[in-house]
Chain A
Amino acid sequence: DTEVTQTPKHLVMGMTNKKSLKCEQHMGHRAMYWYKQKAKKPPELMFVYSYEKLSINESVPSRFSPECPNSSLLNLHLHALQPEDSALYLCASSGLAWDEQFFGPGTRLTVL
């Protein structure tokens, strides 16, 4: 099973709202990733967790706050977002080989 699940599928939020995106995998992968993807662009890496510890923060604004409660779960907490933050947010995971990275279906976020 090479499945990464993400909820919700769609999210509309105002600039003053607080919301969270959730990602889950049951492949035993120890690395999990958050990406942001704008239309017609490649995925842009935001955060990487390895063994439940934050390994990479690609200078992401503090209005995005990641959390890795355990090896299967990854959250992205959102607060005071801007309209330009509207995008497809993708979660991915990779396993012991460090290489094959599997993406979830994404959450389509719209900030009004």
Chain B
Amino acid sequence: QQQVKQSPQSLIVQKGGIPIINCAYENTAFDYFPWYQQFPGKGPALLIAIRPDVSEKKEGRFTISFNKSAKQFSLHIMDSQPGDSATYFCAASNRGVNGGYNKLIFGAGTRLAVHP
């Protein structure tokens, strides 16, 4: 019940395409859903995050869609660029359980390649 299932494992799109990465969870107590972007040899960078009281959040070319009833959330990258080629991790947590920290449960990751 603590798992976050992420798909696809890898994704190839052409420049300008809209890659979509999906995540699903079981624990209905999760109340925070971030996405991280990681380039080879670097630490993960927080990209965008959503809470379950909204169904969509946009930041620049990145959009999270959230479906509470289906327990799914997804990342859309508009007008994708070769520089977006990276590994993307979704995550989930229940902030209310812990005292002063946030234990993230990560998905397995999606390796995205954007071809010119």
Contacts of B34 in A (CB 8 A): 99-101
Within 8 A of B (CB), among A77-112: 88, 90, 92, 94, 98-106, 108
Least CB distance from A46 to B in Å reads 12
Is A75 positioned at the interface, with any CB of B under 8 Å from its CB?
Answer: no
The majority secondary structure among interface residues of chain A is strand
Nearest CB of chain B from residue A90's CB, rounded to whole Å: 5
Q: How many whole Å from B113's CB to the nearest CB in chain A?
A: 14
Partner of A31, one of B42, B43, B87, B102: B102
Choose, from B11-19, B58-66, B72-80, B91-99, the stretch at the interface: B91-99
The interface residues of chain A lying within 8 Å CB-to-CB of B107 are 42
Give chain B residues whose Cβ lies under 8 Å from the Cβ of A42: 89, 106-109
Instruction: State the majority secondary structure of interface residues on B.
Output: loop
B116 at interface by CB-CB < 8 Å: no
Count A interface residues, CB 8 Å.
Answer: 30
Nearest CB in chain B: distance from A44 CB, A: 8
Whether B43 lies near A99 (C-beta < 8 A) is no
Q: Which residues of B contact A108 (CB under 8 A)?
A: 41
* B32 to A, closest residue via Cβ: A99
Write out the residue numbers on chain A whose beta carbons fall within 8 Å of the beta carbon of B45: 103
Interface residue ranges, B against A (CB under 8 Å): 32, 34, 36, 41-46, 49, 87, 89, 93, 95, 98-104, 106-109, 111
